[in-house]
């Protein structure tokens, strides 16, 4: 913990978030559900889409970008595929609903796909990967966003960060990959800049078009680096195309024309592994893969972890010691409850 941060018990954070959302007009159930998402993201160390993001969530409610009374409506269904309209409701609540719906479809059909149009930011996509994997499902999901990243070889932004989530059960927990299409999300750049820290590897370009590890320079240029250079740019494009096509919702270029990021398109896919002929062997197969993975020879005593493993370690630490929060962020959050 640095002198810029304080530690907040998870129960206190949850209580404060809930109180603030009740003041914004949420029902007790919806307030608690949303507060749970923001608190759990913070417990898991994803502060950029937890406590740090909470004030903006409230701001978007106050500006009318998020309709707290809206619920998703089913537009179309064929077999294991459903298309829903999120009606600009709270993104986390719509995403939880979509995840529950796609798990029900997977139980019926073996595999399900829920495509959600006209929704709001889901915060941490991994939330829904954990939700589905802990319930015993394989999960694949993604969202599009406003244009935040240049196509490879360009200087203007045409691509969304379009986070991709893949998850499956493992032992009593889960393996969860949750990644933006840029080397660092804008939330991560904002946090590093706030702490005056350099990035471990190149994160984008400065205003002169040079690769840099300075988060402030990347925020100024608004030119983050796609993961895998041109490969990440191509993946971002296809995730946007599929999100728009499957949901019947807006693609990145149309979302970008709005006054803020809203009415995004999302896809949720679940597979019920109980329906597979090899079901009985799956747990051992995954165990063998992870055992071999952990036998990697580390460089400079680095820790070898699978996606989601460090989250489990952070979760345990933050539950025991409290959640580290930047002082200014916590001051801003508390002001919302005045």
pLDDT digits (tens, 9 = 90+) for 23-81: 999 999 999 999 999 999 999 999 989 999 999 999 999 999 999 999 999 999 999 99
Strand runs labelled E in 238-321: 264-272
On the question of pLDDT at 120 being above 90, the answer is yes
On the question of pLDDT at 106 being above 90, the answer is yes
Domains contained in the chain, CATH given: 5-63+313-336 (1.10.1530.10), 80-181+228-272 (3.30.1370.60), 183-225 (3.30.60.50), 278-310 (no CATH)
For the chain, the average pLDDT equals: 96
Residues belonging to the active site: 49
> Any residues with CB less than 8 A from the CB of 28 and at least 6 apart, and which?
22
On the question of pLDDT at 115 being above 80, the answer is yes
State the DSSP H helix or E strand holding residue 143, giving kind and residue range, or none if neither.
Answer: strand 137-143
On the question of pLDDT at 288 being above 80, the answer is yes
The label of the residue with tokens 């493992």 reads 170
Alpha helices in 110-229 (DSSP H): 126-134, 186-194, 215-221
Other beta carbons within 10 angstroms of residue 36's beta carbon come to 16
On the question of pLDDT at 202 being above 60, the answer is yes
The reported pLDDT for the residue numbered 186 is 81
């Amino acid at each position: 913990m640095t002198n810029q941060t304080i530690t907040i018990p998870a129960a206190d954070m949850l209580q404060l978030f809930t109180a603030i959302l009740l003041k914004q007009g949420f029902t007790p159930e919806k307030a608690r559900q949303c507060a749970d998402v923001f608190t759990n993201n913070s417990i898991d160390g994803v502060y950029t889409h937890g406590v740090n993001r909470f004030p903006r969530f409230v701001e978007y409610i106050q500006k009318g970008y998020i309709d707290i009374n809206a619920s998703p409506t089913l537009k179309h269904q064929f077999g294991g595929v459903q298309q829903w309209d999120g009606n600009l409701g709270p993104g986390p609540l719509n995403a939880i609903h979509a995840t529950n719906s796609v798990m029900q479809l997977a139980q019926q059909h073996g595999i399900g796909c829920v495509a959600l149009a006209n929704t709001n930011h889901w915060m941490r996509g991994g939330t829904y990967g954990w939700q589905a994997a802990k319930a015993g499902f394989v999960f694949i999901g993604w969202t599009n966003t406003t244009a935040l990243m240049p196509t490879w070889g360009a200087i203007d932004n045409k691509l969304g960060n379009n986070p991709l989530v893949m998850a499956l059960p493992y032992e009593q927990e889960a393996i969860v990959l949750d990644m933006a299409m840029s080397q660092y999300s804008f939330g991560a750049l904002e946090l590093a800049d706030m702490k005056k820290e350099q990035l471990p590897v190149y994160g984008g370009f400065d205003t002169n078009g040079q690769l840099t590890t300075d988060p402030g320079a990347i925020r100024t240029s608004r030119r983050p680096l796609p993961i895998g250079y041109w490969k990440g740019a191509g993946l971002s494009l296809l995730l946007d195309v599929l999100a728009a096509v499957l949901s019947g919702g807006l693609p990145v270029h149309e979302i970008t024309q709005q006054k803020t990021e809203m009415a995004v398109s999302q896809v949720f896919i679940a597979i019920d592994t109980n329906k597979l002929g090899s079901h009985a062997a799956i747990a051992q197969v995954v165990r063998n893969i992870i055992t071999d993975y952990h036998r990697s020879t580390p460089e400079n005593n680095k820790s070898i972890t699978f996606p989601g493993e460090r989250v489990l370690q952070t979760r345990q630490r933050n539950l025991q010691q409290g959640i580290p929060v930047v002082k200014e962020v916590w001051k801003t959050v508390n002001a919302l409850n005045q």
